[in-house]
């Protein structure tokens, strides 16, 4: 079923979560273990992230460094299909601009369509780790909206090769990302919201937010979106704090605030286990308040950890 149909039919907030494909060299069982811990809470769908290739420098026998391009977490399409058919649950693979030409993207979309996967989360992707700015692949897309438009075209039966006749149309339901605390590169909130509106006007069915730890930021974001005519469901994305270092790392990487109350609680923690527990408690509190607010769904970023999401889900679903 399409995500938007699930959201429209839901009588109470849906439970959904996001998984990372295993790193190259690992097998899929750890991912299945994570799903096994969460499946009893009846997830409406499961998201699978996409990771673009990175440049790594490897030492050659002569001592010089050689640049190599590697994709550390391949397999999003195959993993999505494996999960869909093993658990009978809908999946939402992420599709990104970074590292792909339009032709490669079209071929991936054709594969997904043949696999019966009807839901996508469409993103630009971050710059690779050692690059400051996002650069599209030659013949690829600059912004998520450009990729979204390619999918909308395919949903209307328009492929890149315009000479294809009697083409079959796809029927993808598409989500896009939104940022309650502004995207890191956006000059200001107003401009960022305008770009989000452009994605929705171009055909996005719903929005999933970046993680946040202060619900007020989400409430204000929803209000600001509604004020400029963004009417689609806005799903809050949440990640519990897992380690002591999160308090410094998350604001730096995602350009988000850690509220004072939470950072005070974390200051009292002596070990990562303490921080893990604070993370669960904060997330339960956040989730309960979001449910009261009437969110359509609660979406959790597992980042490879499912035990904490299980504890939160036990309290909410
Ligand atoms: P865009 O919507 O293209 O926006 C990027 C920036 O450009 C913003 O500052 C925006 O304001 C600006 N902008 C947009 N349109 C225009 C325009 N026409 N002209 C000028 N400026 C414009 N990354 C991954 O690599 N893989 C994943 O699986 C992944 N999953 C994610 C899931 C969620 C829910 C979220 C919130 C993020 C995820 N990301 C993922 C990270 C995401 O790729 C980055 O945040 C990325 O930097 C921006 O992606 P976007 O789709 O929001 O980009």
In angstroms, the CA 147 to CA 152 distance is 9
* Distance between Cα 196 and ligand 1 center (Å): 10
* Distance between Cα 124 and ligand 1 center (Å): 5
In angstroms, the CA 30 to CA 265 distance is 31
In angstroms, the CA 148 to CA 139 distance is 15
pLDDT (average), residues 161-186: 96
pLDDT (average), residues 146-167: 96
Q: Kindly give the number of the ligand 1 atom that is closest to the alpha carbon of 177.
A: 36
The pLDDT of residue 75 is above 90: yes
User: 19 - beta bridge partners?
Assistant: 48
In angstroms, the CA 214 to CA 31 distance is 29
pLDDT (average), residues 4-24: 97
Percent of the chain with pLDDT over 90: 91
Q: Kindly give the number of the ligand 1 atom that is closest to the alpha carbon of 125.
A: 43
Query: Cβ distance 175 to 234 under 8 Å?
Result: no
pLDDT digits (tens, 9 = 90+) for 199-236: 999 999 999 999 999 999 999 999 999 999 999 999 99
User: pTM of the predicted model, to two decimals?
Assistant: 0.97
What is the secondary structure of 38-97 as a DSSP string? HGGG--SEEEE-----EEEEEE-TTS-EEEEEE-SS--HHHHHHHHHHHH--EEEEEEES
Q: Is the CB of 50 under 6 A from ligand 1?
A: yes
In angstroms, the CA 305 to CA 279 distance is 12
Q: Is the CB of 145 under 6 A from ligand 1?
A: yes
Q: Is the CB of 182 under 6 A from ligand 1?
A: no
Higher pLDDT, 128 or 78: 78
Give residues with Cβ within 8 angstroms of 308, minimum separation 6.
240, 242, 276, 279, 280, 283
* Distance between Cα 256 and ligand 1 center (Å): 15
Q: What's the sign of the alpha-carbon dihedral 316, 11, 213, 173?
A: positive
CATH code for the domain in which residue 102 is found: 3.20.20.220
* Distance between Cα 125 and ligand 1 center (Å): 6
The pLDDT of residue 98 is above 90: yes
Whose CA is closest to atom 15 on ligand 1?
195
| CA geometry: angle 145, 151, 154, nearest 5 deg | 145
In angstroms, the CA 173 to CA 180 distance is 23
Per-residue DSSP letter, 185: T
- What is the gyration radius of the CA atoms in the chain, in angstroms? 20
Whose CA is closest to atom 26 on ligand 1?
50
Percent of the chain with pLDDT over 70: 100
* Distance between Cα 111 and ligand 1 center (Å): 24
Query: In terms of residue numbers, what domain contains 237?
Result: 3-316
pLDDT digits (tens, 9 = 90+) for 250-290: 999 999 999 999 999 999 999 999 999 999 999 999 999 99
Q: Is the CB of 94 under 6 A from ligand 1?
A: yes
From residue 223, give the alpha-carbon distance in Å to each of 88, 97, 213, 220, 234. 36, 29, 17, 5, 11
Provide the number of structural domains found in the chain: 1
The pLDDT of residue 106 is above 90: yes
Helices (H), the chain: 3-9, 29-38, 76-87, 102-114, 144-155, 189-201, 215-227, 246-254, 260-267, 272-293, 307-316
pLDDT (average), residues 52-77: 88
In angstroms, the CA 215 to CA 261 distance is 13
Query: Cβ distance 283 to 240 under 8 Å?
Result: yes
The pLDDT of residue 21 is above 90: yes
Query: Cβ distance 308 to 280 under 8 Å?
Result: yes
């Amino acid at each position: 079923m399409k995500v938007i149909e699930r959201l429209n039919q839901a009588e109470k907030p849906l439970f959904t979560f996001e998984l990372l494909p295993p790193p190259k060299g690992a097998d899929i069982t750890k991912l299945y273990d994570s799903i096994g811990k969460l499946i009893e809470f009846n997830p409406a769908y499961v998201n699978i992230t996409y990771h673009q290739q990175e440049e790594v420098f490897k030492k050659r026998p002569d001592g010089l460094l050689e640049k190599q391009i590697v994709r550390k977490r391949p397999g999003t399409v195959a993993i999505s299909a494996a999960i869909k058919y093993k658990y009978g649950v809908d999946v939402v693979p992420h599709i990104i601009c970074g590292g792909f030409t339009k032709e490669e993207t079209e071929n991936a979309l054709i594969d997904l369509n043949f696999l019966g996967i009807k839901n996508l989360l469409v993103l630009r992707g971050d710059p690779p780790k050692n690059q400051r700015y996002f650069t599209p692949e030659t013949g690829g897309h600059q912004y998520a909206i450009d990729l979204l438009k390619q999918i909308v075209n395919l949903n209307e039966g328009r492929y890149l090769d315009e000479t294809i006749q009697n083409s079959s149309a796809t029927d993808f339901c598409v989500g896009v990302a939104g940022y309650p605390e502004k995207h890191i590169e956006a000059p200001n909130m107003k401009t960022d919201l305008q770009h989000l509106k452009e994605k929705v006007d171009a055909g996005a069915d719903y929005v999933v937010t970046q993680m946040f730890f202060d619900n007020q930021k989400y409430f204000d974001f929803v209000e600001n979106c509604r004020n400029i005519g963004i009417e689609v469901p806005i799903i809050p994305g949440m990640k519990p704090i897992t380690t002591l270092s999160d308090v410094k790392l998350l604001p730096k990487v995602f350009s988000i605030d850690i509220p004072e109350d939470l950072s005070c609680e974390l200051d009292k923690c002596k070990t990562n286990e303490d921080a893990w527990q604070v993370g669960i408690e904060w997330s339960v509190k956040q989730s309960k308040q979001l449910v009261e607010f009437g969110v359509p769904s609660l979406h959790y970023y597992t980042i490879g950890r499912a035990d904490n999401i299980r504890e939160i889900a036990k309290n909410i679903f």
